[in-house]
Structure 1
Amino acid sequence: MSRASRSWQASDDLPQSVGGPSTLSMPDDWTLSTAWKRAQSENDRGGAINDAERVVYLSDGDSTHRVLWALQGRTLVADCDCAGYQYHGGWCAHVASLWWQWVRGQIVVAHLDTGREYPSPPAWLRLDDEPTAFNQLTPAELDAYLTCDLGSLGVREYARLSGRSPGTIGNLLRSARDEMEGRR
């Protein structure tokens, strides 16, 4: 299911709104850190606030945390309101818990630019990529470019899945490639 008709807006109904997105990189010691151990052993009793934000409430914790957790461009953007997020370079227990849930198919992550939802990390995902690198593309061009050129689907397969004609997908890809190469 696509949410392309919606655009993400920060929620006004919860305090401590999360700021601008930052990108993540996998830590070298991710399996050994306390944050990752908590993420893998505790249950998250929180849930989605909107397409891009979630409340994370770990079972052994005593407070909720608001986390930005969404795809933008070719990367994952995340931000948490806890001190551990700053201390651990982005991988606090709350962010790690969302990653753990996502790779196990327990949550769906929305793409802020295309509106598409991903039940698991897509093949084209790069954690340390620039979130605004594809801003010049339309949502349809970006979706086709990520899915066909950077992902694992061919034009015809993607056309069948998206309900578009192969010619339309080809035109979107040509336009996206031209834009990425600065020819438009």
Structure 2
Amino acid sequence: MFAAVSRSRSGGRFEELGRVDTEVGESINFDRLAGSDDTSWNKAVPYESDIETVSRLGFKVRSPDGEEWHHVVLAREGDYHVGLCDCKGWEYNDGPCVHLCAVRKAAWTGVTPERDINGRTVRICDLDAADAAERRYPYLTEKQREAYLACELGNTGVREFQREQGYSSPGTVSNRLRVAREKVHEHEQQLRTDGGRDGHRDPVTDDRRLLGEGVNR
């Protein structure tokens, strides 16, 4: 899933790198890339890339020349964007990676937005529009997140939740919960591999941020 972000930037301004740490991750200034010779920006061709909308904040992206799907988080925050990706290009370079650029281009304002592999219009939502659960689990679909919050983190049983939601198939909630558990486990495992997030957990609220976990301030 998402690698822990370990970079630290000085100052609070969007400078020439176009990327600084914020409370929830890293801010990206895409505007500076338009018309530039930035490699990631120029390599990003939305209609040649595979994009799948996972949630309002989460996407899966595969470049035309890539075999591997990468998990991307991207949202608007004021005049800029906040995002991250699990690829090496994002981890080691100063600017946004080709996968983030592909999603941004696909949802470019003023032109007809591209559609993802399932025919859904690629949209980038405002970060303020996403609740705490969406920010923490952007890699889960809405239905997976609902099942995980209710049955895994809450006190609702699978069958009870199934009745509340009006699902006729007995395996609907169980399957969504299983997939959600697998995704969360995969994410937790990678965070531990990358240095973990326990050191950044709020001891009072037990808040463990998804976006920007591991940021060293």
Give me the TM-score of the superposition, normalised by structure 1.
0.46
Higher relative contact order (CA 8 A, sep 6+): 2
Give me the TM-score of the superposition, normalised by structure 2.
0.40
